[in-house]
Structures are given as C-alpha cells and as structure tokens.
Chains A and B, each alone.
Chain A
Amino acid sequence: MPRRGAITAFLTAVGVVLLINFKTPSQQGLAAFSRQTVTGTQSTNGSAAPSASGQPSASSQPAATSQPTAAATPGTQTITGPAISYFFGTAQVQITLQNGQITDVTALQLPNEGQSAWISQQVEPMLRSEVLSAQSAQINLISGATYTSEAYRESLQAALDKARA
C-alpha cells in the first residue's frame, strides 16, 4: 500500500505541475496588462494620453505614437471617441490617424472591476489589432465579450466619424 501511495502521489504531482504550467492567453500578457491601468475620463485632443507601451500586441507601436497632436508631425491626428456606457461599465477609445490611416487605437476606459476587468484585459489587444488591420470600425465582435466589443466599436465609430467630418 505505501508503494501504491507513492506512485499515486508522484503522478498527482506531475498532473499538478502540468496544470500550473497551463497558461491562458491573457495570463501570458498578464504582467503587461497589470501595468496598463486605463485612466483618463475626458481627455480631449492634445492632452496627455495613456501610453500603450505595456501592450503585448503583435502589431505594437512605439510608445510615442499617442503623443499630443501639438507635438506630432503634420498630418497626425489624435481623436477621442465618446465614453459609451453599457451594463458592465464604460468604454472609450482614442485613435491616432496619420494621413487618414489608423496607426493606433487605445482604450481610455474599459470596465475594470471583477470579472469584467478580465474580459477587458483579454479583449483589448484583440480589438486593437482588429481595428489596425480593418482600418475601420467594421470589426468582429469578440466571443465572450460581446457587450464590451459593441461599446468599444461604438466609441470607435464616433471617433472615426469626427475625424472624417
């Protein structure tokens, strides 16, 4: 019996180690996200925008992209979309356009409480890379975060409308 117990304990330990090493996508970017606390409620064009440097996104831009318009090169616009309230909180995005191209999009606000915070942290980079490749608000809603995606898209669409007005 002690031998059987030892074998079982060993196999259990192996299983636990495997479980501990299993990482979800959001855990891989966890360190980065926890630094990037989304702040700023009503930042207008030109005010200091949060840095996007903590993002693990594949198409990550240098931190300098979201600088105030005044200091930027001609043809660069930074536009803040409206804050969209929905059940879980508020979503608000800021886009950077260069000669009409979307070069960056930052979430100024996303729900940051409890389980919604996890959703926010997971979906933000996904939504961002979708926007950068679609170059419009015609993005796919992220499964598991339908409501957040919709609010994000709404703020983004409004910002784009403002830019192209």
Chain B
Amino acid sequence: MAAISTTLRRVPMPRTWRLRPFDIGALLVGNALFIVAMWWRHGGVGQLAVPGGAFTAAGQLTALLGTYTALVQLVLMSRSPWLDQLFGMHRLAAWHRWIGFATVWLLLGHGVLTTVGYATLDKTSPLGEIWTLLTTYPYVLMATAGMAMLLAVGVTSVRLARRRLAYESWHGIHLYAYLAIALATAHQLAVGTDFAHDFVARVYWLSLYAVVAGLILAFRVGQPIALSLRHRLRVANVVDEAPGVVSVYVTGRELHRLPVRAGQYFIWRFLTANGWWRGHPFSLSAAPNGEYLRLTIKDSGDYTRLLQQLRVGTGVFAEGPYGVLTGARRTRPQLLLIAGGIGITPLRALLEELPVGRGNLTLLYRAGDWDDVVFRDEIDELIRQRGGQVRYLVGRRGSHEMPTDPLQARELRRMVPDIARRDIYLCGSNQMMEAVEESLHVLRVPPAQVHTERFSY
C-alpha cells in the first residue's frame, strides 16, 4: 500500500503540442518590436520637426499598436487549443479584458492625436480637420464607424454596464469588434504612412490579418463542425439530479476517439429552435468512457431552464474540449478536491479518473443546502472504491451548524493536515474560489499545486 501511495501518475492529455509560454511571449513581443521598428523607419520621431509632428507621430504609433493589440485580442479568443492548454481559457479571458481596454484607449488616442497633428499642420481647428478627414481622406469615415463600434464594445464591458446587460446583448455588441477591425483596414492601407507605399510592410500587415483569420476560422468554425460531423452527437437522456439540476447524457459515434479528459469542458449548443444560436460552457460531470458524455446543469437562468426541457434525440453541436483542470497537471501523489456548489461537476469526473493510491484522496464539498448537493450516491460509491474520504460542508455561513467559513485556512489545516503537500483541484463560484485561494496562500501551498478553472468572468 505504501508503495502505491507514493507514486505519482499523471493522466496524459490525448493531444499535446511542443509549445511553451515563452514561445508565445517571444512571438508577441517580437511582432510588437517589429511594428515599432516599422514606425521608426517610416518617419518615427523624425517627424517631430514638422508642425504638429509630435501628435502625428504619436498618432501613427498608437494606430499601429492599437491595431496589433486588437488582433492579439482576436487570437486570445480564437479558442485555440494550444493557448488553452498553455494558459487556460479563464486566464486568456482575464488578459482579453485588460488588453481590450488598452486597445480602445490606443485607438481613441490615434484618432485624437492624428486629428490634432493634421490640424496643426494645416493651421486649422481640430473640428474643421475632423470634417476634412472624414470627407476627403479615403476610408477614414469607414474607420471612424469602426471606432464607434469598438467604443461601444469597450463601454458595455465596463463592470457597471456589464452587470446591467443580459449576457446575450453584451455578447452581440462584442461581435461588432470583428466588423470594427475589418472596417478600419482599408484606411490603413490607403492613407497609413507605413503601408501606402511600402509593399513589404503591407504584405507583413496583411499576413498578420490572415493568420488571425485562419486561427478563428479553424478553431471557432472548422473544428466544431468537424467534431460534430465525425461524432454526430445527440441527447440520449435527461435525468433529474436534484431540485433544479439535470444531467444530460450525450451519445454519438466513435466517442472513444474524442480526445477529451475528465475535468475538461465543451461549449455546447443544443440544436433546438431556441437553443442553436447560443453556446455555453459545461464541464463533463462523468469521466469520458467512450459511450456517453454527461454534463450537469443547474437551473440558474432562462437558458438552463430551457435545457431542462430538452428532448431525447436533439442534435448537439460541441466546441472543445477545453480546460486545464486535468490529471495532466498533477505534481503530487496526494490529492485534495475542493468543490463549491455546482462546481462539483468537473471534480466528480476527476474523482473517477485521477489515479490515486488509497488514503491519498480527499474531497471537500461545500454547499449552502443539502438540496444543492448533487451526485451524493455516486460520490460516496467512488470514494469507497478508491479508499478516499469525503466531507460535506453543508449549511449557510453564519447559521448555527456553520458558524464560520469551513474553508478558511485554519479549518482546512484541521481537516487536511498535509494540505501543503497535495495537489489541489478547485472549482466553485468566483467568490468561493478566491476565498479558498487566499486560504491556500496562507497555508503556503505552492501555486503550482493549485489547479482551477473559472466559468464566470
């Protein structure tokens, strides 16, 4: 028994790529430097001698960098499995948020700086110059319309506005970013100092666009279509798990060939009249077994309510698999799974799949109410088979049975004394995960041992 318990076995991913975070960083920084060099060559600070030249030069640089970050934004959201495996979608999304605001500021800066620069040069007022730019410079009106769209995307993503908007409205507005980027292209090539007369620069710039478009088409369109054609996914069964919680069983052809692991998720689209147009991420709630995929959904809005009325036989379109909360990330033989509410779903799948010696597995399952605890029978059975232990931490915080937060550092150490030597897989609400990460920090658990996935941003 002791021999088994000290062995670490990872679950290898079915597909891997020889990419390191460094490669991606080098690519990003390399292109940024190339673009600055291009700006330098096509005027750069040499323009400072012209009246308004400082504005014009800065306007040129912000345009180049703003467009570059806009393209990077598209890459971050291209659902590339390479980036997902390196960083995880939740981290990509967090970067996307901040780079997005930077992009809007850079491009707004470009508009203002260029207008002021040209106005100074022409000895006119900036307002008059705006009119001249819009009506006499080719495609500048088009680019300005794109700017307005990008601004709308930025404004609706500010936390205050985002909270007031339905997800679908926010997402719909976000799609305009693609159009905005397309609309701005023509004026860059026609009047952009860097491109109008430099063939090499133009080829380089357009090839950036081509690569980004290729990634988006491959991973957002091609990959899900190929997957759906190959596996022909259908709803096989819909089962009530708890009040407001259902499991959907999905079957298809050759599921054993689907390159997916426990802990991962797909973005699911159910092909009903009212469901085909929106995709939502749900983790597999059972380890992939070649026969069926199971996802479990808690009724937390209109969409999940709709899914609860799914009919058997409904076609399913799945994009993925994504996610880094897998057995490939193992660093230690000892395991601790911490679930919050419906965040149990990927951990339930991992509980089944992760190789672990007897006595090295602990599951902490936090829920506000016993009605929120799902898979209780399955969990108890799996824990028994694998020689682990489970603790259900049920009750509203502050109530008589749960006077303090059971996931605070002191409580965690009491329940799992060797916590700093374990791999920790964590999934729950953002609030819960932040609290637990704080506790783990206090307990000096090395960050490399903490594995998480976030679904709300």
Interfacial residues, chain A to chain B (CB-CB below 8 A): 1-2, 5, 8, 12, 15-16, 19-20, 22, 24-27, 30, 87-88, 112-115, 117-118, 122, 143-147
| Known A-B contacts A12-B179, A144-B136, A146-B122; A19 and B197 likewise in contact (beta carbons under 8 Å) | no
Q: CB distance A5 to B196 under 8 Å?
A: no
Q: Which residues of chain B are near A25, meaning CB under 8 Å?
A: 136
* In the bound complex, CA of A5 to CA of B193 (Å): 38
Beta-carbon contact of A112 and B197 below 8 Å: yes
Which residues of B (101-150) have their CB < 8 Å from a CB of A?
Answer: 118, 121-124, 128-129, 132, 135-138, 140-142, 145
- Inter-chain contact B277/A118, CB cutoff 8 Å: no
| A114:B50 contact, CB within 8 angstroms | no
Counting contact residues on chain B (CB < 8 A from A), the size range is 35 or more
On whether the beta carbons of B196 and A26 are closer than 8 Å, the reply is: no
Task: With CB as the reference atom, state the residue of chain B lying closest to A20.
Answer: B142
| CB of B456 to closest CB in A, whole Å | 20
Q: Which of B145, B183, B190, B194 contacts A118 (CB 8 A)?
A: B190
A15–B129 Cα distance when bound, in Å, is 24
Closest-CB distance, A31 to chain B (whole angstroms): 13
Residue B42 interfacial (CB < 8 Å): yes
Determine the distance from Cα of A25 to Cα of B50 in the docked complex, in whole angstroms: 26
B168 at the interface (CB under 8 A from A): yes
Within 8 A of A (CB), among B270-299: 274, 277-278
Most chain B Cβ neighbours within 10 Å, of A2, A22, A88: A22
A115 to B136, CA, bound (A): 13
Closest 7 CB pairs of A and B: A114-B193, A19-B142, A115-B193, A27-B138, A144-B132, A24-B136, A144-B122
Tell yes or no: B88 within 8 A of A by CB.
no
Q: Beyond A5-B277, A16-B183, A118-B191, is A22–B132 a contact (Cβ under 8 Å)?
A: no
Residues of B within 8 A of A20 (CB): 142
Distance, CA A117 to CA B128, complexed state (A): 21
Which B residues, 152 to 195, have Cβ-Cβ distances below 8 Å to chain A? Answer: 168, 172, 176, 179, 183, 190-194
Q: Apart from A87-B50, A112-B197, A115-B196, what are 11 other A-B pairs with CB-CB below 8 Å?
A: A1-B277, A12-B179, A16-B183, A22-B142, A30-B138, A88-B50, A113-B193, A143-B132, A144-B118, A145-B122, A146-B123
Tell whether B200 is near chain A: CB-to-CB under 8 Å. no
Residues of A near B194 (CB, < 8 A) are 114
> CB within 8 Å of A: which residues of B?
42-43, 49-50, 118, 121-124, 128-129, 132, 135-138, 140-142, 145, 168, 172, 176, 179, 183, 190-194, 196-197, 274, 277-278
Question: Knowing A113-B197, A114-B196, A118-B190 touch, does A8 contact B179 (C-beta < 8 A)?
Answer: no
CA–CA, A17 to B191, complex, Å?
21
User: Across the interface, do A114 and B124 meet the contact criterion of CB distance under 8 Å?
Assistant: no
Residues B43 and A114 in contact, CB atoms below 8 Å apart: yes
Residues of chain B contacted by A113 (CB below 8 angstroms): 193, 196-197
Q: Is the CB of A26 within 8 A of B277?
A: no
Residues of A within 8 Å of B197, CB to CB, are 112-114, 117
- Also in contact, A114 and B42, with CB within 8 A (given A26-B136, A122-B136, A143-B132): yes
A57 to B92, CA, bound (A): 54
Nearest A residue to B140, CB-CB: A24
Residues of chain A within 8 A of B123, CB atoms compared: 146
Residue of B nearest to A1 (CB): B168
In angstroms, Cα B171 to Cα A8, docked, is: 13
**Which listed residue, A24, A30, A118, touches B135 by the CB 8 Å rule?**
A24
Q: CB-CB < 8 A to A5: which residues of B? A: 172, 277
B309 to chain A: closest CB distance in Å?
A: 17
B183 to chain A: which residues have CB within 8 Å?
A: 16, 19
Q: What CA separation (Å) do A1 and B193 show in the bound complex?
A: 43
Asked whether A117 lies within 8 Å of B196 as measured between CB atoms, the reply is yes
Across the interface, name the chain B residue whose C-beta is closest to A12: B179
